[in-house]
Structure 1
Amino acid sequence: MRTVPRRLLREVLPLALTGLLALSACQFTGHGDDKADEAHRLNTMKAFPLHAYLPDPSSDEGRTIGKAQWILAKRCMVRLGFAGFAALDPGAVDSTYPVRQGTLADRSTVGSDDSPYGVDDPEPASEHGYHNRAPEDSAQPQEWPADQYTALTGSFRSGDSHLAHGNRIPDGGCLGQATRKIYGAPPETVKAGGLKVTSYYSLALELGYQSQKQARNDPAWKKTEHAWSACMKKKGFRYADPDKAATDYAWYRDDKPSDREKRTAAADAQCKLDTDYIRTAHDLETRLQKAAISKHRTELDQVLAANARAVENARTIIGTAS
């Protein structure tokens, strides 16, 4: 389900069963297209008010910052002794965060998309279960050899050297150093969802987490959660809430979804439509996020101003590199 991205983290739920598909015409289309479309529209991080205070790597500004980061990282890597980086085209590097070679997971892993409320469409859920598939146009994280990865990110495993060709790797690696050059000094670390987050967007992440936590304790959320659970029970699946269904350990045993997983996910999605789960949950979170934005308007406006300065810094870096 939801992760601290973003990307977070968070970082993008989602063979048909013959019997299930045979029933789909009468079982899965009982709701009008409008209701299903609304659920799908609300089931994305972009549908939340706080999303306006989080970075969008796919936007023009996001791509500008990403290119500037790689221009600076390229120079840093060359200084560290990676001579081959002199030929790197910063504009051609994926904006996704680097992945250490040999650890890149299958794109269709469980719980890997941008849907805060999990599966919302019974038909694809009956094919893919909870093994999510990223959109066709989404960027695939790029793998880097271990020595380059540690130099780029400053992330080390046990036994990894903190030196590259005799040169000390900067804090956060070359990309971390580049980010500080563009954004300035990093903010204080905050806790969100049990994780320590150090991000230039930490405030928005923390407020989003707190809003969700508060919404889950609201009687309206608990009521729709109970209704969803009762719906699932009638279909032969016993789960207290959608999170427990989506994170069932059984789904993590294989790279491909089992028949039971697919049946469970299809029922999960249908019960969300039957009980109006997504709209209810989204309305609660939206109300609380708007209240949080109103309370922290000054600080959040500072986040937007800092991002605007970062974009200008990035444009300067790109201009001087041309």
Structure 2
Amino acid sequence: MRPAAPLLPVLALALALAGCGQPSGPPDSSASPTSSDDPRFLPLASYDMSDEDVRTVGRARWTLARECMVRLGFGGLKNLDVDPVPAWPRRPEGTGVVQLALYASDDLRYGVQDPGQAARYGYRAARAEHERRYPEKDWTLSEYLALTGQFVSEDPKSVHGHRIPRRGCLGEADRAIHGTNPQDRSDPVLSLETKSLQQGRQVPAWKAADRAWSACMREAGYRYPSPRDAEIGEDRQRQELQDRLNGSSHDPEEPSALEKRTATADARCKQRTGYVRIVHAIDVRIQNQLIARNRETLEAQRRWNDDATRTAGEILNDRS
């Protein structure tokens, strides 16, 4: 599991990496996989931070950022609550930048799996989990710039007579914890997890699972070659856009009835065809192969994570 990734000025990327189980609500990160047959089990995850380590690092990060903000003249943030840690700051609306958010979850790695969850959240359970774990806070533009250092156009580089640190107060906190900004170095766990999916989708058994799932979806009235195509739903997006142009009052930030129906059929077809069991077994096998070929790099990443967690713990202990 990894902490929320920084937002870019135009593209806001927020990773909600949470446990899935089979509840009708968003994924529940309290449970841990107990065997390699559990679809939440990923061999590469052993080289990543645990949920508790992510929480420790996040609290330390925001503790340092809070101190930095007070130093920059934002005295009103002296008592900012950092447990749970706030969501990554969003630039205020109306300041000339369009922000998009992409939410992903390791435990929705193979797409929606629970029909009850799909009926409630459509394809947006990862977003629901992120919002549950990381409370949103409204920031002024000066607060946002001081926290993130994400400048565009004529944004001021100073506040209250103080120069904003590189990558803002959150970036300064990252350097104190990690020794560098995480976004400035490659993450081998994330890279290899992505590679495993790319390789897995080329395996004949995975392709056969896609075909079986697709045939099930056709019986339900949907024509998608793979779960990825259903989740993207280009045809659904066109229909929803047309509905809005025709005066629909549906909030585009919420899943439409069509999205919920599609996601529910998707999850049911995964259950009926044994899709997740098949692709997860392939994914685990490929991840183990990738680990064997990249063990030294992965061990270095684990040490880097452990060092950051230890430093974060010391920071919190010093302020307790």
- TM-score for the superposition, normalised by structure 1: 0.73
Q: Select the residue among 284, 301, 312 that pairs with 1:286.
A: 284
Offset of 1:175 from its aligned partner? 0.9
Number of the residue aligned with 1:23: none
| Structure 2 alignment gaps of length 5 or more | 6-12, 21-34, 95-100, 242-251
Cα shift readout 1:75-113 (whole Å, capped 9, x = no counterpart)? 32223222323x22564462542333449xxxxx99665
Judged with a 3 Å threshold, the aligned counterparts in structure 2 of structure 1 residues 10 and 69 are, in CA distance, closer, same or farther, namely closer
Number of the residue aligned with 1:69: 61
Number of the residue aligned with 2:8: none
Q: How do 1:113-124 residues align onto structure 2 when only pairs under 5 Å count? A: 114-124=107-117
Q: Select the residue among 184, 195, 198 that pairs with 1:210.
A: 195
Number of the residue aligned with 2:47: 53
Judged with a 3 Å threshold, the aligned counterparts in structure 2 of structure 1 residues 175 and 296 are, in CA distance, closer, same or farther, namely same
Q: Is the 8 A contact 1:242 1:268 kept in 2?
A: yes
Q: Is the 8 A contact 1:11 1:112 kept in 2?
A: yes
Cα shift readout 1:192-242 (whole Å, capped 9, x = no counterpart)? xxxxxx266711111111111111111111111111111111221111111
Q: Does 1:182 align with 2:177?
A: yes
Q: Is the 8 A contact 2:196 2:286 kept in 1?
A: yes
User: Which 10-residue stretch deviates more, 255-264 or 213-222?
Assistant: 255-264
Q: Number of matched residues? A: 274
Judged with a 3 Å threshold, the aligned counterparts in structure 2 of structure 1 residues 148 and 93 are, in CA distance, closer, same or farther, namely farther
Q: Does 1:125 align with 2:125?
A: no
Number of the residue aligned with 2:244: none
Q: Does 1:9 align with 2:7?
A: no
Offset of 1:299 from its aligned partner? 1.9
- TM-score for the superposition, normalised by structure 2: 0.74
Distance 1:235 1:257 in 2: 19
* RMSD of aligned Cα (Å): 3.2
Cα shift readout 1:143-170 (whole Å, capped 9, x = no counterpart)? 3222111111122343322222232222
| Structure 1 alignment gaps of length 5 or more | 15-37, 104-108, 188-197
Cα shift readout 1:251-288 (whole Å, capped 9, x = no counterpart)? 56534444433332222111111221111111111111
Q: Select the residue among 91, 98, 102 that pairs with 1:100.
A: 91
Q: How do 1:1-322 residues align onto structure 2 when only pairs under 5 Å count? A: 7=5, 9-11=14-16, 41-42=38-39, 44=40, 47-56=41-50, 58-59=51-52, 61-85=53-77, 87-89=78-80, 91-92=82-83, 94=85, 96-102=87-93, 114-132=107-125, 134-135=128-129, 138-186=133-181, 198=183, 202-249=187-234, 250-251=236-237, 253=241, 254-322=252-320
Q: Is the 8 A contact 2:206 2:279 kept in 1?
A: yes
Q: Percent identity?
A: 38
Distance 1:141 1:200 in 2: 27
Judged with a 3 Å threshold, the aligned counterparts in structure 2 of structure 1 residues 91 and 217 are, in CA distance, closer, same or farther, namely same
Distance 2:80 2:123 in 1: 37
Q: For residue 306 of structure 1, what is the amino acid of its counterpart?
A: W
Offset of 1:127 from its aligned partner? 4.3
Secondary structure of 1:99's aligned partner: coil
